[in-house]
Amino acid sequence: MNIGIIGAGNVGSTLGAAFTKTGHAVTYGLREPSKVPGSVTIAQAVAASEVVVLATPFGALAEVVASTGPMAGKVVIDASNPLLPGLALAVGHSDSGAETLQRLLPQAKVVKCFSTVGIEVMANPKVGGRATTMFLCGDDAGARETVRGLASSLGFDAIELGALKNARLLEPAAVLWIHLAMVERLGRRIGIRLEGDGARAATIVKSDPSRKVAVIGAGNIGGGLVRAWTKAGHSVTVGVRSPNDEVLALAKETGARIATPAEAVAANDVITIAIPAQAVEAFAAGSSFAGKLVIDCTNHVGPGFSLSYGHTTSWAEELAKKLSGAKVFKSFNAQGAENLATPVYASGSAANFFCGDDAAGREVVSQLVRDVGFEPVFAGPLKQARVLEPMMMLWVTAARTAGKRAMGFQLLRD
């Protein structure tokens, strides 16, 4: 296949080398081709190619598009991310950089891909012996299939996510990768994989120390946490307004205590919220959360299966404002209840990304995550919930595409 790459920086040159190695014909298009031997003008690269990769900074897209022409019918891969200083997204929540590009190129077939890993993983997608997952999305099914084939040929486990609006999920995932690699110093040879093979229950051992934990809500998520934490030896209180038969059965099965939500908050040091986000405000009224460690498992989803909060804040940050004096952490929100029961796969434990501002609380949450059977992965301060909440949407979208829910994210390391 003839592939034009606009930009010969780190991303463009790495992808170009990888495509050339797999047998594709690569042409580099630059504004000043004389600076890089063998390159041509942007317009010439576009004309010579079936697929065009935009590997330029997001801020330069409008200028680049002015040089490409309309690219009618071309498959255009957006490998950029709309980043501002401080790892903030310039657009998000209700828009994305890829959708911005599609508006600039209305006749092209834009696909978001190759934006969620660094160049080290682009050059070698196998991390720790397993293929990194490369998610991609676009409005044209044929273009998605073409790009999926290209990603697979490089060695990625390529997964289509459907419409281009799902770039609103991939661009936050890119911020998560950058933060883990650079800020949390996990290194640039890390990858996120969506694993679903060989799912099984974790071997839970008694935790030391044991803790007093309240779980508000006894639905699928709450019930799964109650089962895991009681097995690990924690003293668990289930906080519900009125216990039904299912709650009574859960208490009998696990030995957990049943109380009202207010009683559960008052009697425990760790409060885990596992009720619908829209019900949290009513639950919080009348209770004091000062000094409590609060684990927010909820996702505030609005009409049309969209997040109610966006890239400039998050539901977890808004919740922290409502729970005065609480030490709020985001955790257990980016997977289904199935993962709580079977968090281990043939290749290892699923990762549970979590974030929060309190240093001592970080150790407590890490322990509780491990007690369920997950690998705890600290993703930074609470504002990182802005990228963890879209991970829930990414998980759900991928599960729907695959037609199964027994899947979990894993963090790959060499």
What band does 302 get if pLDDT is binned at 50, 70 and 90? Answer: confident
pLDDT tens per residue, range 84-121: 998 999 999 899 999 999 999 999 999 999 999 999 99
∠ Cα 112 115 120 (to 5°): 145
CA distance 354 to 297: 10
| The predicted structure's pLDDT at residue 166 | 97
CA distance 129 to 191: 11
Instruction: Write the burial class of residue 250 (CB in 10 Å: 0-12 exposed, 13-18 middle, 19+ buried).
Output: buried
What band does 49 get if pLDDT is binned at 50, 70 and 90? Answer: very high
Average pLDDT score over residue span 303-309: 88
Beta partners for 258?
A: 238
On whether the CB atoms of residues 352 and 372 are closer than 8 A, the answer is yes
CA distance 63 to 184: 34
Average pLDDT score over residue span 349-364: 97
On whether the CB atoms of residues 118 and 124 are closer than 8 A, the answer is no
What band does 3 get if pLDDT is binned at 50, 70 and 90? Answer: very high
Average pLDDT score over residue span 22-48: 93
The one-letter amino acid at 16 = G
Q: Which residue matches tokens 């200083």?
A: 85
| The predicted structure's pLDDT at residue 146 | 98
Q: Which residue matches tokens 């397993």?
A: 130
Instruction: Write the burial class of residue 156 (CB in 10 Å: 0-12 exposed, 13-18 middle, 19+ buried).
Output: buried
On whether the CB atoms of residues 247 and 238 are closer than 8 A, the answer is yes
Phi, psi (rounded to 5 degrees) for 253: -65, -40
Tokens of 207: 């935790």
Task: For residue 103, give the nearest of 42, 62, 144 by alpha carbon.
Answer: 62
Spatial CB neighbours of 279, under 8 Å, sequence gap ≥ 6: none
Domains and CATH numbers, the chain: 2-191 (3.40.50.720), 212-413 (3.40.50.720)
Alpha carbons within 13 A on the beta-carbon side of 401: 18
Give the mean pLDDT of the chain: 95
